[in-house]
Amino acid sequence: MMNRTGLNDCLAVLLGIVIVSINLMSPLQARQFRQMMPIAGPEVETANLPENAEPVSRLQPLSRTDVQPLVEKIVGQWNGGSMESILADSFYDKSRLLDVMDTQVPRDARLSIQSIQGIQTLQQYRVPDAGGGRDSLVSIVSATVRTQLEFNSTNGFVRLPGTNEFLLKVTTAAAP
Amino acid sequence: MMGMDGATGRLFSRQWRLPGLAIPLLVVSASSAATVSILPDWQISGSNTLRGGHYGATSDATSGPYPFEGDLYFNEFNVYLNKRNSRYDTFRGEISGAYNLNDDYRADRFGIVPERLSLVRENGDNALPYRLELGDHFAYYSYLTLQRSLKGAQVEFQPASKIAGRRHSIQITSGANDSSWRGLSLQEDHSTGASWLMQDETLGSMSINFVHNSRDASTTAATADRSQNVLSIAGERQLAIGDHSLSVEAEAAHFSGDHNGLAGAASGQDKSDNGYFLQLSGRSNSLPWDYQLRFDRYGQDFQPRGAVVTADRRSAELRSGWMHSSGVRIRGRLQHFEDGFETLNELRTRTYGATLSGPLLRGFTADLNGNIDAFVQNIDNETGTTDTLTHNLNMSVTKPLPNDWTGRATVFLQNLNDDGLVNADLFTRQISVNADHRIQIGGFEGIITPGFEVRTLRKGFSHSTDINPTLAVSLSQGPHALRMDYSSRMQNRSFSVSGADIDTHTFNFDYRYTRRQHIFGVETNMFNREPTPGESTEAYRISAYWTYSFDRPAVTLAARNIDAIGLSSVSRPVEVNIAGLAPGRSVEAVDAALAEAGVAGGVNQAGYRVYEYPLFRDVFRRQRLALQFDQGLLARSALIIDFDDVGDRNSVLQTFEQVRQMLIRDLGNPSRTYEEGEFSASLAQDLNAQRLTRIVEWSVPGGVIRFGIPRRLDGQVRMEIQHATRFTQSGETLWSIEGVR
């Protein structure tokens, strides 16, 4: 059975910031420092921008109804031991986190959502498809989530509550 | 308290009262007499949810998931505002929060709890384009300096460059990190910084970042006042060498100031240290091969408050991947981490792993999709108190089965050999299987998923066996949707690996009714824990909620729907197209229209009347029109379009796009799209593994038209266009008409 320090380390890494890539194509934020987020203007719209990012004409915030299933999906993946597919490649220390989940988190541990607090769409931009297909609409969404990890230890039932910020990168097909 | 008259865009006042309780609600009325025109130039949308719940527990509540008991209530809301002065000059704002009467689970504080407040002004008309963010914003410079949400202000300028292909961005940030505006203290954790970014098509990208952070002393955390600075320079360059496309990225940062301390508050005062990161990524242009080499080094005192990297760590990693033409992908990794490398007791972690994913047995069974991940990990330290060797295997497979079943299985094996001080050898074996099956009960359609998991933990001469049967059901019918799941976990620890035998039973039930902008729901969670020996615990939660969504288009649409689904529409002439075959039309009207269009020869199949009929004349694929009637009215219409060859990516993509474009031509821009993954030669496997989703929806009077490629339990791949009053969530991929094959 794992020790408490290892578990807290794991949770701190896992729940500190989670980046979810619902669609893995054209990951604009692949590098470790910020990218240009062009401000829409007469010049910018005609410029050949690096990374092909284009500003959106109007930001369309994701609603709580949109975000809640995504947060539930993250928690479901956590409980199913399949976080690999939902963590973005740019997630810091991704593989180490996954290893720690396999080696240190109790196999009977379950993560539950206590409540989803503030939700905010931080950024949104279009990324043209390199193959000439439809553009992608990338939304960076922040969600504050109260979670609780539950498992049975030698000392009895353990609850580890926490308030965490999830950072989700949601890629959907842009409207034509 | 304000709400919005969605039809006119005006605001009005209203207060909702419960006995002994005044709860502010954001509500919408299309016929309010007491309307006041506020912010007429702004588009306003959002939602409001009122929720009440009862939490209870018997005996030892501390051994259950609900530490707070009683009747708990809160009301939460989100409001989005949008205003456009010109094409390139816009405002947008978000306000979200809760009125928390007494729900300890919803928020730490009671009363009004503002959670997200933001106002963004973006002006590209200006000679100096700028973006100003007030309130909640996300500050992101780099991993080594700043990446966190702040409450404060951020402004970005993007001055034009005289050099073609080059752009600049200057950001200035100041704000505090806190999850709520209530009790926000600017001194508790405040960051101020500036960042310059240059992106050039030829030279690549470069950024210089500076962040200052200050934190007050905390008696509970035993920390002193802390003030710190971090300065970094980062760059990225794309290269082409021979047949390879390469990317080189690096960042170097210097930290100076205070942190929490390694041995008491005083040990963290007035420190300085450096952090470095270097990465080379590449791929072959002629072979399906990619690779990545990465080095990190962060000193013991390199502890910027807003950074995401770990102090006192040195690491080197090599990764490489190969995609076989069969669709099978293999990836390998070699990793070496040194934690605490500036201490006398360095902890070393060496990991060697490989992952195999895709259609693993394509030669034998093409529709089996899986993932196998294996690694060996050695962790030891200088003093020898830690010395473990772990062999880990995690395998999962998915396969469509006969009779409308889709099966999944996972195998987890782990052998931990501990030669350290604790000597905690452990051998874990776990097998789980579950399967989806389409069911119909009393007019409801859905999925039932039985499952079973067995796990054994062996430690020396003692062992534990965990048995975990599960059952999940999700059903829907029109506006009704419900989900249930049951789990019994029997942890038999007769030789005690970790304490008493424990049986844990959970039952969750969730019902939701949707009517236009309203959602009414009930959620029940039951928990039972029985340790032997020990005292058992029963805990439960029952809650009900009402969500009201408001926005101008939605209200307009809803108003049209009232007319569209009225009796008068039943007898209206029917057009034989997917929009014309709308729910609510009478059998007689539909039959007459079909006869006039020459559609004949329908056969009954699984509750549908199915016609071989090419509704899209330009699409040269097999098309079947399926109609479902209920009590003399059309309940659902669908067009099923087969693919020629699902292994031909281009053919599939072209056909899908052709149909989609025809629908856009007829119905206009979609209301919603949900896409995941990309078309490939392994389309069937990707669908079954839920790596590929294609759903496009149009809100139309009286319902929704959905087009896409649904996942099917029999593994068949086809397009479907359905017209119904409503659908399951877009994330639900099993929406095909399973009975029609």
DSSP string, B3-54: EEETTTTEEEE--EEETTEEE----B-TT-SSEE--STTSEEEEEEEEEEEE
pLDDT at A36: 81
Average pLDDT over all residues of chain B:
82
- Segment 695-714 of chain B within 8 Å of chain A by CB: 696
Compare B165 and B670 and report the one with higher pLDDT.
B165
The pair of structure tokens assigned to B190 is: 């405040």
Residue range B709-732: mean pLDDT, rounded: 76
As a whole-number percent, the residues of chain B with pLDDT over 70 amount to: 86
Rounded to an integer, what distance in angstroms lies between the CA atom of residue B304 and that of residue B192? 12
pLDDT at B649: 66
Parallel, antiparallel, or unpaired: how do β-strands B718-724 and B462-477 relate?
A: unpaired
Which among B411, B444, B473 is the end of a domain?
B411
Rounded to an integer, what distance in angstroms lies between the CA atom of residue A140 and that of residue B444? 36
Q: ∠B454-B456-B457 over CA atoms, to 5°?
A: 150
pLDDT at B432: 94
- Maximum distance among all Cα pairs of chain A, rounded to whole angstroms: 65
pLDDT at B233: 97
Three-class secondary structure assignment of B88-99? CEEEEEEEEEEE
CB contact under 8 A, B466 and A107: yes
Rounded to an integer, what distance in angstroms lies between the CA atom of residue B268 and that of residue B234? 26
B514 domain residue, yes or no: no
Q: Does B396 touch chain A (CB under 8 A)?
A: yes
pLDDT band at B17 (very low <50, low <70, confident <90, very high): very low
pLDDT band at B358 (very low <50, low <70, confident <90, very high): confident
Q: Of B151, B147, B192, B152, which Cα lies nearest the Cα of B172?
A: B192
> Does residue A90 have a pLDDT over 90?
no
Cα B441 from chain centroid (whole Å)? 30
B130 domain residue, yes or no: no
Distance of CA B118 to CAs A39, B81, B91, B115, B121, Å? 18, 10, 10, 10, 10
Q: Of B722, B731, B574, which Cα lies nearest the Cα of B640?
A: B722
The residue segments making up the domain with residue B590 are 565-724
> Does residue A1 have a pLDDT over 70?
no
- Best mutation target, A20, A33, A164, to test chain B (most B CBs within 10 A): A33
Residues B258-305 have pLDDT tens digits of 999 888 888 899 999 999 999 999 999 999 899 999 999 999 999 999
B558 domain residue, yes or no: no
Highest-pLDDT range among A102-111, B211-220, B512-521, B697-706: B211-220
Q: Report the interhelical angle of A94-103 vs A4-16 (nearest 10°).
A: 140
Eight-state DSSP code of residue B367: T
Residues B375-422 have pLDDT tens digits of 999 999 999 999 999 999 999 888 888 887 888 899 999 999 988 887
Residue range A135-140: mean pLDDT, rounded: 79
In DSSP terms, A13 is beta-bridged to none
The pair of structure tokens assigned to B413 is: 């094996």
How far B223 CA lies from chain A's nearest CA (Å)? 20
Residues B186-239 have pLDDT tens digits of 778 999 999 999 988 888 999 999 999 999 988 888 888 999 999 999 999 999
**B412 to chain A: which residues are within 8 Å by CB?**
81, 102, 107
Residues B313-330 have pLDDT tens digits of 999 999 999 988 777 889
pLDDT at A23: 29
Q: How many domains does chain B have?
A: 2
Lowest mean pLDDT among A2-6, A53-57, B12-16, B430-434: B12-16
- Is residue B455 within 8 A of residue B468, CB to CB? The reply is yes
Rounded to an integer, what distance in angstroms lies between the CA atom of residue A63 and that of residue A58? 15
> Does residue B716 have a pLDDT over 90?
no
DSSP string, A70-107: HHHHHHHHHHTT-GGGTB-TTSTTHHHHHHHHHHTS-T
> Does residue B523 have a pLDDT over 90?
yes
> Which candidate from B124, B310, B392 shows the least CB-CB separation from A103?
B392
DSSP string, B574-588: PPSSTTTS-TT-BHH
Q: How many CB atoms lie within 10 A of CB B294?
A: 16
Lowest mean pLDDT among A11-15, B97-101, B256-260, B550-554: A11-15
The pair of structure tokens assigned to A105 is: 């988190």
Q: Say what the ipTM of the complex is.
A: 0.72
Euclidean distance between the first and final Cα of chain A, in Å? 53
B569 three-class SS: helix
Residues B161-192 have pLDDT tens digits of 777 778 899 999 999 988 778 888 877 899 99
Residue range B428-455: mean pLDDT, rounded: 90
> Which candidate from A39, A73, A120 shows the least CB-CB separation from B122?
A39
Residue that the structure tokens 């209200």 belong to:
B555
Q: How many CB atoms lie within 10 A of CB B9?
A: 18
The pair of structure tokens assigned to A157 is: 């039932």
Residue range B7-20: mean pLDDT, rounded: 29
Compare B453 and A16 and report the one with higher pLDDT.
B453
DSSP string, B213-278: EEE--BTTTTB--EEEEEEEEEEEEEEEETTEEEEEEEEEEEEEE--S-SSSGGGGSSEEEEEEEE
pLDDT band at B8 (very low <50, low <70, confident <90, very high): very low
Rounded to an integer, what distance in angstroms lies between the CA atom of residue A71 and that of residue B482? 19
Which among B411, B443, B464 is the end of a domain?
B411
B236 domain residue, yes or no: no
> Does residue B559 have a pLDDT over 60?
no
> Does residue B27 have a pLDDT over 50?
no
The pair of structure tokens assigned to A74 is: 């993250």
B509 domain residue, yes or no: no
Average pLDDT over all residues of chain A:
72
How far A153 CA lies from chain B's nearest CA (Å)? 7
pTM score, two decimals? 0.71
Cis peptide before B533 (omega within 30 of 0): yes
pLDDT band at B349 (very low <50, low <70, confident <90, very high): very high
- Is residue A57 within 8 A of residue A40, CB to CB? The reply is yes
B396 domain residue, yes or no: yes
> Does residue B710 have a pLDDT over 90?
no
pLDDT at B37: 56
> Does residue B663 have a pLDDT over 90?
no
Residue range A43-69: mean pLDDT, rounded: 66
- Is residue B354 within 8 A of residue B322, CB to CB? The reply is no
**A108 to chain B: which residues are within 8 Å by CB?**
466, 489, 491
- Best mutation target, B48, B75, B676, to test chain A (most A CBs within 10 A): B676
- Best mutation target, B94, B121, B456, to test chain A (most A CBs within 10 A): B94
> Which candidate from B143, B317, B498 shows the least CB-CB separation from A154?
B498
Residues whose CB falls within 8 Å of the CB of residue B623, separated by 6 or more in sequence, listed in order: B612, B613, B614, B615, B616, B639, B640, B641, B642
- Segment 34-63 of chain A within 8 Å of chain B by CB: 34-44, 47-51, 55, 57-59, 61, 63
pLDDT at B295: 96
B393 domain residue, yes or no: yes
B650 domain residue, yes or no: yes
Residue range B507-535: mean pLDDT, rounded: 89
**A24 to chain B: which residues are within 8 Å by CB?**
677
Cα B525 from chain centroid (whole Å)? 23
As a whole-number percent, the residues of chain B with pLDDT over 90 amount to: 39
Which among B368, B386, B411 is the end of a domain?
B411
- Segment 88-117 of chain A within 8 Å of chain B by CB: 92-93, 95-96, 99, 102-103, 107-108, 112, 114-115, 117
DSSP string, A9-44: HHHHHHHH---BBSS-SS-TT-SSB----PPP-TTG
